[in-house]
């Protein structure tokens, strides 16, 4: 597999310049400001606040709304654990809704059923190459005057209806963690065009210094990656189509459709119609596959171990939030049957695979077929 992060000439030049001018060791310098300006241009938003992680970005987004103790925040039962913990950290109550069948995105139809007079925000995450229908989420939220936090930590650069992921909600969040598509080892950002929310974040983080900082060195190495993001996302998408072909399934998959790969595995993809026209373009930090229903959690572990022995970086997906937390800590809508299936059967393929050569992709496809 290709090594990650990519250490190319652009990155070497960044480190060389920092070694000469000493900006890598300063509190303030040109790099954070340049990266903020680039994020705003790229996403067509007015504000970008840098911070120390994607997890911190979600917390800051909640405080930007602002939420108060006792408020309710809706999110899917299949989501990153830190989003759930952030809701608790701010004193709020997580309200878990189900996903749509076979896909790690929230069932939008359940959002209204989850709302009460205490509902203050909705967190939606674009996970494993799947994109949430943001216009519908935002329509429902606007009717009830509820804020939307759009988690694009796994989907930087993705397009939904011709608009960048992370820019539909009141606030969007990005992650620059060590394995992410944009990486500085650690780091994150909150993006928004709401000046009042952006100002709340700045007031919260500034305590004589920045309590949630991204360093000048981190910002410097992120900027050339942002400039190459669309190119690399395009390469990952093309290699995914090659992988699907090598696995024996059609590369044209309708939204929410599932196609069999073999008797034991199904691919859970969201390759949106219109992707060639640029209106809907997924970004693949991870690619999701849904194992056959006869798979237990232990058999899934065996499957992942076997794939890794073959050199394919496949891991179990997230644990269902309702499966790993006390029932006293959250409220639910329905039985969360779809999220439970994902908890038991979902596996993910890491994005570094999709930067491989065509020949390597074909070999990986053969391994997965077997």
Structure-block tokens of residue 222: 């992120």
| Number of Cβ within a 10 Å radius of residue 64 | 27
More confident residue, 272 or 180: 180
Distance (Å) of CA 57 to CA 201, 212, 214, 256, 270: 10, 9, 11, 29, 26
Phi, psi of 149 (to 5 degrees): -105, 120
First to last CA, the chain: 19
Task: Give CA–CA dist 359/365, Å, rounded.
Answer: 10
| Cα 73 to Cα 95: distance, rounded to the nearest angstrom | 6
Mean pLDDT in residue range 252-278: 37
Using alpha carbons only, give the angle 187, 189, 193 rounded to the nearest 5 degrees: 175
Confidence tier at 101 by pLDDT (50, 70, 90): very high
DSSP 8-state code for residue 98: P
d(Cα 225, Cα 231) in Å, to the nearest integer? 10
| The dihedral sign for the CA sequence 85, 89, 90, 96 | positive
Tens digits of per-residue pLDDT, 277-330?
Answer: 458 899 999 999 999 888 888 899 999 999 999 889 999 999 999 999 999 999
Backbone torsion region of residue 152, taken as left when φ is above 0, otherwise alpha when ψ lies between -120 and 50, otherwise beta: alpha
Per-residue pLDDT tens over the stretch 8-32: 999 999 999 999 999 999 999 999 9
Nearest CA to 202 among 41, 46, 49?
A: 49
Q: Does the pLDDT at position 265 exceed 80?
A: no
Q: In Å, what is the CA distance from 231 to each residue of 217, 227, 235?
A: 23, 9, 6
The arrangement of strands across the sheet holding 258-260 comes to 258-260, 265-268, 286-291, 346-350, 314-316
- Angle of helix 81-89 versus helix 54-64 axis, rounded to 10: 40
Give the pLDDT confidence of 195-221 residue by residue, as tens digits: 999 999 999 999 999 999 999 999 999
What is the dihedral angle through the alpha carbons of 349, 107, 171, 148, rounded to the nearest 10 degrees?
Answer: -160
The answer to whether the beta carbons of residues 289 and 346 sit under 8 Å apart is yes
Domains of the chain: 9-226 (3.40.640.10), 229-369 (3.90.1150.10)
Per DSSP, the residues of 137-180 read HHHHHHHTT-EEEEE-TT-TT-EETTEETTSSSSEEEEE--TTS
């Amino acid at each position: 597999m290709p090594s990650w992060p990519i250490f190319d000439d652009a990155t070497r030049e960044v480190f060389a310049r920092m070694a000469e001018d000493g900006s890598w060791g300063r509190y303030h310098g040109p790099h954070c400001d340049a990266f903020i300006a680039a994020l705003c241009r790229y996403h067509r938003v007015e504000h970008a606040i840098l911070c120390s992680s994607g997890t911190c970005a979600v917390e800051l987004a909640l405080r930007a709304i602002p939420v108060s103790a006792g408020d309710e925040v809706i999110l899917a039962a299949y989501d990153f654990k830190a989003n759930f913990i952030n809701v608790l950290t701010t004193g709020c109550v997580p309200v878990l809704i189900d996903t749509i069948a076979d896909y790690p995105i929230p069932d939008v139809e359940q959002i209204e059923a989850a709302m009460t007079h205490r509902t203050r925000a909705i967190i939606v995450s674009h996970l494993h190459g799947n994109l949430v229908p943001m216009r519908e989420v935002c329509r429902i939220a606007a009717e009830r005057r509820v804020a939307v936090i759009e988690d694009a930590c796994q989907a930087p650069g993705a397009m939904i209806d011709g608009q960048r992921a992370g820019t539909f909600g009141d606030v969007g969040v990005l992650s620059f963690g060590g394995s992410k598509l944009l990486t500085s080892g650690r780091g994150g950002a909150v993006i928004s065009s709401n000046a009042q929310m952006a100002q709340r974040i700045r007031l919260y983080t500034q305590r004589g210094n920045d309590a949630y900082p991204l360093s000048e060195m981190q910002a410097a190495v992120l900027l050339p990656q942002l400039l190459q993001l669309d190119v690399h996302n395009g390469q990952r998408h093309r290699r995914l189509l090659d992988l699907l072909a090598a696995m024996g399934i059609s590369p044209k998959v309708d939204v929410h459709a599932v196609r069999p790969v073999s008797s034991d595995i199904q691919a859970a993809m969201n390759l949106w119609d219109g992707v060639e026209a640029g209106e809907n373009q997924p970004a693949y930090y991870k690619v999701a596959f849904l194992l056959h229903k006869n798979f237990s959690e232990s058999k899934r572990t065996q499957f992942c171990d076997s794939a890794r022995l073959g050199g394919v970086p496949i891991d179990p997906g997230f644990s269902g939030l309702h499966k790993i937390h006390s029932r006293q800590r959250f409220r639910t809508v329905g039985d969360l049957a779809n999220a439970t299936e994902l908890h038991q059967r979902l596996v993910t393929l890491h994005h570094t695979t999709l930067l491989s050569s065509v020949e390597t992709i074909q070999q990986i496809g053969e391994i997965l077929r077997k």
